[in-house]
Amino acid sequence: MSWLSKKIEKISAKRPRPDGKPALSVRERVSALKNLPEFLGLIWETSPTLTLGNIVLRLLRAALPVAMLYVARLILDSIIGLARTPGASLTPIIGLVSLEFGLAMLSDVLGRGVALLDSLLGDLFANRSSIRLMEHAGQLDLDQFENSAFYDKLERARRQTLSRTVLMSQVLSQAQDSITMVFLAVGLAAFNPWLLLLLLVAVVPAFLGESHFNERSYSLVHGWTPERRELDYLRQTGASDETAKEVKIFGLSGFLIERFKLLSDEFYQKNKSLVVRRAGWGALFAAVGAGGYYAAYVYIIAQAVRGTISIGQLTFLAGSFARMRGLLEGILSRFSSVAEGALYLQDFFDFFHLQPHIGRPEDQPTRPFPRPIREGFVFENVGFQYRGGTKWAIRNLSFTLRAGEKLALVGENGAGKTTLVKLLARLYDPTEGRILLDGHDLHDYDPAELRQEIGVIFQDFVRFQLSASQNLAVGRIEEKENTDRIQTAAAQSLADTVIQKLPGGYDQMIGRRFAGGVDLSGGEWQKIALGRAYMRDAQLLILDEPTAALDARAEHEVFQRFADLTQGKTAVLISHRFSTVRMADRILVIENGQFVEIGSHEELLARNGRYSELFALQAAGYR
């Protein structure tokens, strides 16, 4: 290892990365190249035909520079020979010029072919990577999405799906230029092997300097992932139709701008310091490289003056050295970029190494889901704690949700009602205790099959920027072409009254993100979301305060219809309105994540406990 490499190692070891981790050494950057075989394997899987075609074209193109330099040498020597032999025929020279012209045209055609295949293969790879990312994200657990460290990995992986197409082209170009260099090196080594050593001395320092600054750039970007996400959030929040009302009412524009300015200026200053130092060292190393090149050039000229080599050989050697210098600089510089890309590639693969915690090993059979549910769900001393948290969201919770029963959940905000619902749908697994379905632990059932039999509409349901028909079909997306089922679900949820007013009916785009979209009121959106539950046709239906934006009359009508349409099915209702809650067969009261009492509306009032107290407080508000 050269003294400069050791010096860079020493500097890198002392200076920490912005994310708090030690700076990567040259050896570690080279080690990052271990990601390339898997990356190249993904490229091959994307399209073996395009990949093979790309490789063949690049191999052919790699040999052309040497061939063209050699033909140029023959042309010059032939011209000098003709000048010494008056009256000689020009036919050989014309033939050589025609050959060089043909090689030039072939190089252009091959270059365009390579660019075409790079573009097609890059687009396919970006699409395949995006699909793979979405597929993997769909397999991960809900609590993983609620973790900021996970979001950092997801954000870095998402950025790599597009930028890795550049890495693909760089790796293939690296191989092509390396082959060209081998051909050129043979010619230079035959003349004077010391020229190759001079070439390395001229180029390597610049490569080491670029490697160091590429690592610093990666370190800066990697360490600033959380802040970059915050910048994106601030940019979106400060100029969005979804937040415009609150931003204007509360005068938040100045606050958001100030926060954005603070973060963006800090990143700018850190990046400015890096690029200024990079430019200074880059100029110095460029001067060293230029000096090495012209020293070799003077040596070759001196040999031509002494008559040791011909003018044609002078042209060939000078051209070969210049071309090799350019290729070597490109290879080393690109190697640094490839190494940097391989570091980012690790972020891409790290995301795919994340595994869900909920599920069963493939080699363990699952129980078939009961159709119909006969006994119901039993919570046995269930407790749940969010990963990394210290507070219990639910603790010591035991009760039974009987088959065909309508159970209402009552409790103040933060009592654990939504967490309980997510445990039922196995979006979470209990930290302690267990949940049984028809006498068997939920772990014994396939999570995907379980969720197919559960229809949940949360209070914070998603407002998909899709057509009205597709928004309803979200409840059972495989039925998106079943017009009768979609219209029936709309009628059951009263969403049909909303859709009838839309200019495009069921084909109308909802939401204003895309051209021609129409936005809905909160209550209208909730009717659309309720339609998804009816699309589900599930054995267990859960409504988690989905009618909060409806007035009391509309909510009562929705729940009355819900009660009629769920006859014989199991249902869970969460609502703060006791006029709705009393429609349930039984009411479960929880507080601070723990069981308080359970019974019918009349039974709980007669006990004069927590439910009775909450009911009286709400009733007093209506007097």
3-class state of residue 571 by DSSP: strand
Does residue 136 sit in the same domain as residue 182? yes
395 within a domain of the structure (yes/no): yes
323 within a domain of the structure (yes/no): no
CA 8, distance to chain mean position in Å, is 33
The pLDDT score that the predictor gives to residue 222 is 64
The pLDDT score that the predictor gives to residue 1 is 38
The pLDDT score that the predictor gives to residue 106 is 92
The pLDDT score that the predictor gives to residue 312 is 74
Residue 446 pLDDT more than 60? yes
Q: Given 191, 217, 235, which residue is the final one in a domain?
A: 191
Residue carrying the six token digits 């379980």? 450
8 Å CB contact between 164 and 122: no
Does residue 605 sit in the same domain as residue 499? yes
The pLDDT score that the predictor gives to residue 3 is 32
Does residue 508 sit in the same domain as residue 474? yes
339 within a domain of the structure (yes/no): no
The pLDDT score that the predictor gives to residue 494 is 85
- Between these two residues, 339 and 190, which has the higher pLDDT value? 339
Residue 13 pLDDT more than 50? no
pLDDT in tens, 14-30: 333 334 444 455 566 67
**Strands, E, within 76-150: which ranges?**
none
Longest dimension (CA), the chain: 126
Does residue 616 sit in the same domain as residue 493? yes
Does residue 435 sit in the same domain as residue 481? yes
Window from 9-23, 215-229, 381-395, 558-572 with minimum mean pLDDT: 9-23
Q: What is the mean pLDDT of residues 514-523?
A: 81
The pLDDT score that the predictor gives to residue 399 is 92
pLDDT in tens, 227-243: 777 777 877 777 776 67
Does residue 182 sit in the same domain as residue 198? no
8 Å CB contact between 366 and 440: no
The pLDDT score that the predictor gives to residue 5 is 34
Does residue 160 sit in the same domain as residue 30? yes
The pLDDT score that the predictor gives to residue 191 is 66
Q: Given 264, 288, 308, which residue is the final one in a domain?
A: 308
The pLDDT score that the predictor gives to residue 353 is 79
Nearest to 196, CA basis, from 305, 74, 327, 330: 327
325 within a domain of the structure (yes/no): no
pLDDT in tens, 372-384: 889 999 999 999 9
Q: Given 258, 279, 308, which residue is the final one in a domain?
A: 308
Does residue 181 sit in the same domain as residue 121? yes
258 within a domain of the structure (yes/no): yes
Whole-number Å distance between alpha carbons of 616 and 227: 48
533 within a domain of the structure (yes/no): yes
The pLDDT score that the predictor gives to residue 203 is 65
342 within a domain of the structure (yes/no): no
pLDDT in tens, 314-353: 777 777 777 777 777 677 667 767 776 777 777 778 788 7
| Max mean pLDDT range (201-205, 312-316, 465-469, 579-583) | 465-469
Question: Whole-prediction pTM value?
Answer: 0.61
The pLDDT score that the predictor gives to residue 22 is 42
- Between these two residues, 210 and 134, which has the higher pLDDT value? 134
3-class state of residue 461 by DSSP: coil
Does residue 475 sit in the same domain as residue 400? yes
- Averaged pLDDT score across all residues of the chain: 78
Q: What is the mean pLDDT of residues 438-462?
A: 85
Does residue 168 sit in the same domain as residue 231? no
Contacts of 313 (CB under 8 A, 6+ apart): 73, 77, 191, 304
Does residue 510 sit in the same domain as residue 608? yes
CATH number for 569 = 3.40.50.300
- Domain hosting 53: range is 26-191
The pLDDT score that the predictor gives to residue 130 is 81
The pLDDT score that the predictor gives to residue 384 is 92
pLDDT in tens, 57-92: 998 888 888 888 888 778 777 777 776 676 667 777
Domain count, the chain: 3
Whole-number Å distance between alpha carbons of 530 and 496: 11
The pLDDT score that the predictor gives to residue 499 is 92
Q: Residue 379 carries which DSSP code?
A: E
pLDDT-based confidence at 122, cuts 50/70/90? confident
Whole-number Å distance between alpha carbons of 69 and 617: 93
Supply the DSSP string of 515-544, one letter for each residue: TT-B---HHHHHHHHHHHHHHH--SEEEEE
496 within a domain of the structure (yes/no): yes
Does residue 40 sit in the same domain as residue 156? yes
Q: What are phi and psi of 195, to 5 degrees?
A: -65, -35
Q: What is the mean pLDDT of residues 444-455?
A: 86
Among left, alpha and beta (phi > 0; psi -120 to 50; other), residue 523 is alpha
The pLDDT score that the predictor gives to residue 500 is 92
The pLDDT score that the predictor gives to residue 407 is 92
Q: What is the mean pLDDT of residues 420-438?
A: 90
